[in-house]
Every structure is written in C-alpha cells, then in structure tokens.
C-alpha cells in the first residue's frame, strides 16, 4: 500500500472534519468503571501516513468522562474547546483551552467535561502502543478521592 | 536520565506556555530563500518524554512565513489561531482554525500568515527526522507561481 499523499482535513464548525468519521469511543479496558458520552475522530494516522504517531480529537459531552485507566504508553493532550478536568494519579486539575498535558506511562488518568460545557481536546499517541490495564484498588481509591468518576 | 513525569504545560494567554521558552525559529536549510517573523515553542518532546514524537507550536506574525522546504519526514499541522495559507507543492490553500494538514514526505511546503493576522499552529513530527533539503528549480518555480514567498 502506498503511503498517504499530502492532504488537508477541513474543519467544518459543528460537523467535525471533512472525510473523518466520528466514532463512539469505547475503552479498551473491560470493567474499567465505564466512560460516558465521548466521541473520537482520528484525523491523521489511519491512512498509512509516514509517521509513527496518530492525531485524534476527542469530544466529551457536558457531564461525560473518559474511562479511568493506565497503560505503558504516554499521551499528549491539547485542550481546545470548553472546560474540563484531568484526574492524574491522585490529583485533579482544571483544564482550559491550550493547556497541554503530558500523561507519563502508568499514570492513572481520566478526563471529565464540566457539567455545562462540551470539552474537546486533541490527543497524540504513538501508533504502536499497549492496551489499558486494570488499575489497583489503591490507585482507584486515590483517583476517586481526587474526583474521578467510576461506575460500579 | 529518568523519563519525564506527568506534567501540565499551562497556557497563559498572550504569554504562551508556562515553562516553555519561545525560540526564534531558524530554518535548518541554508539558502532556502528565508523565513520571516516566526517563533517556535516545543511543548512536549524535549524533556525525555516516553514518546517518539514532538509537539511544537509555531506562531507567524502578520505577513511572515516559514521557509519553503522539503524533507523526508512528514508533518502534521493543526491550525488554531488566525488565518494563513499553506503552499503545498504547486498548490495554495487558505487555512483556518482546526484545519489539519498532513504534509507527506518530500512535498515542498510553506506556511504564511495573512497580512493582518497572526497565524498560529501546532506541528507534530517524529522525534527522529531528517533535515530539510534544497528544492529543485522546478519545484521552486511551481511553489512561487502558487504564492510562495522566496527572497532572493
């Protein structure tokens, strides 16, 4: 398969990017405690581009959240829309547009939209990466104490 | 050297990111025809992070431009501030916030700010990459015909 040609993914306000399919996001982790109202769009990295990373855009509806998880690969998150929070280990942080988060390997993490705002962010990751793994009871307790949401 | 810990680079409107040094950008390419009024900030990828890519933010002042160049590595550019243009090979394209450009290997390219607007974009690249190489007279003529700026 030939590698991808130069391409512009046009942003269409309110409709995402031209020729990029929104996917309802499901965590790779069974029994993680769940996720809620989160959509993923893979902008770059699924068309045999000559790069070792993927650029995705996630949007979480008001009150929604990603799964609380950890894994051996790192994340880079660039917030661009609305307000949210990041639970990182046993800490929680308000996140506003253009705040950029480096999530190191094995840091338990969860992103949550504010109750009344959509929260959108780019997430860049290595193309070759491991799957999420269960967090320990101690990690879970610390994250929940900080503000993580885990459905039982 | 230990790999980097989880970290938030806080955006401070009008001042870039906390603990990230703006650098006056200079092209790696001698005799490229120049660049003008462009500043680079490397947000992630210079602190021994466990990733194979770097996330940089470039800002071009009104009327400024990056060097017209080509290289074997690909770029991903995510526009976020103001308006600009991208010259890609022998074509030119208006770029607005959240338009995302995949620049394939060896495509001659240049980014230009509008005359009256700052143009800001994230650029993600593989950490291991080659240096820019001279474009051919034919490539240069085609790019200039499309709207590239090359100082003689």
Residue where the block lists tokens 């800490």: A91
Tell whether A58 is within 8 A of chain B (Cβ): no
pLDDT at residue A35, as a whole number? 76
Report the mean per-residue pLDDT for chain B: 92
Residues of A in contact with B101 (CB under 8 A): 6-9
Q: Report, as an integer, the average pLDDT of B39-46.
A: 94
* Residue B52 scores a pLDDT above 90: yes
pLDDT of residue B85: 98
- Report the distance separating Cα A101 and Cα A88, nearest Å: 10
Q: Does the pLDDT value for residue B26 go beyond 80? A: no
Q: Give CA–CA dist B101/B93, Å, rounded.
A: 10
Residue A102 forms contact with B (CB below 8 Å): yes
pLDDT at A26: 65
Residue range B81-134, pLDDT digits in tens: 999 999 999 999 999 999 999 999 999 999 999 999 999 999 999 999 999 988
Closest of B137, B130, B90, B95 to residue B112, by C-alpha:
B95
Mean local confidence (pLDDT), B28-38: 68
> Residue A50 is nearest to which of B105, B109, B124, comparing CB atoms?
B105
Tell which residue, B106, B32, B43, B39, has the closest CA to residue A122: B43
Contact B38, B29 (CB under 8 A): no
DSSP state of B82: S
Residue B15 confidence (pLDDT): 81
Quick check: B78 contacting A, CB < 8 Å? Answer: yes
pLDDT digits (tens, 9 = 90+) for A73-91: 999 999 999 999 999 999 9
pLDDT at A96: 97
Chain B residues within 8 A of A6 when measuring between CB atoms: 88-89, 101-104, 107, 109
Can you say how many angstroms the Cα of residue A61 is from the centroid of all Cα atoms in its chain? 13
Interface residue A89 vs chain B (CB under 8 A) = yes
Q: How many angstroms away from the CA of A69 is the closest CA of chain B?
A: 14
Please, what is the average pLDDT of chain A? 92
Q: Would you state the pLDDT for residue A30?
A: 54
pLDDT tens, position by position, A6-54: 999 999 987 899 999 898 876 555 555 677 888 999 999 999 999 999 9
- Cβ contacts of residue A15 below 8 Å, gap of 6+? none
Q: What integer pLDDT is reported at residue A33 of this predicted model? A: 63
More confident residue, A152 or A60: A60
**Over residues B124-145, mean pLDDT:** 95
Measured CA to CA, the distance from residue A140 to residue A108 in angstroms comes to: 8
Catalytic residue, candidates A20, A60, A123, A149? A123
Per CB-CB distance under 8 Å, the chain A contacts of B54 are none
Which chain A positions have a beta carbon within 8 Å of B44's beta carbon? 76, 100, 102
**Percent of chain B residues topping a pLDDT of 70:** 93
Structural domains of chain A sorted by starting position, each given as residue range(s) with its CATH number in brackets? 16-146 (2.60.120.10)
Tell me how far apart the alpha carbons of residues B147 and A6 are, in angstroms, rounded to a whole number: 18
Give the pLDDT confidence score for residue A8 in this predicted structure. 96
The predicted pLDDT at position A134 comes to: 84
Chain A residue at shortest CA distance from B52: A126
Two structure tokens written together for A45 = 């990295």
Strand partners, A38: A60
Considering only CB atoms, B44 lies closest to which of A43, A76, A105, namely A76
The residue among A91, A33, A147, A84 whose CA lies nearest residue B6 is A91
């Amino acid at each position: 398969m030939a590698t991808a040609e130069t391409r512009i993914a046009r942003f269409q306000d309110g409709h995402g990017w031209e020729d990029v399919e929104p996917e309802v996001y499901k965590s790779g982790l069974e029994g993680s405690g769940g996720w809620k109202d989160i959509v993923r769009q893979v902008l770059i990295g699924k068309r045999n581009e000559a790069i070792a990373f993927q650029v995705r855009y996630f949007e979480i509806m008001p009150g929604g959240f990603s799964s609380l998880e950890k894994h051996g690969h790192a994340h880079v998150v660039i917030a661009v829309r609305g307000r949210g929070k990041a639970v990182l280990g046993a800490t929680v942080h308000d996140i506003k547009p253009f705040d950029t988060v480096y999530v190191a390997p094995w840091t338990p993490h969860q992103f949550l939209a504010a109750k009344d705002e959509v929260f959108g962010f780019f997430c860049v990751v290595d193309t070759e990466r491991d799957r999420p793994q269960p967090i320990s009871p101690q990690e879970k307790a610390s994250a929940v104490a900080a503000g993580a949401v885990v459905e039982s």
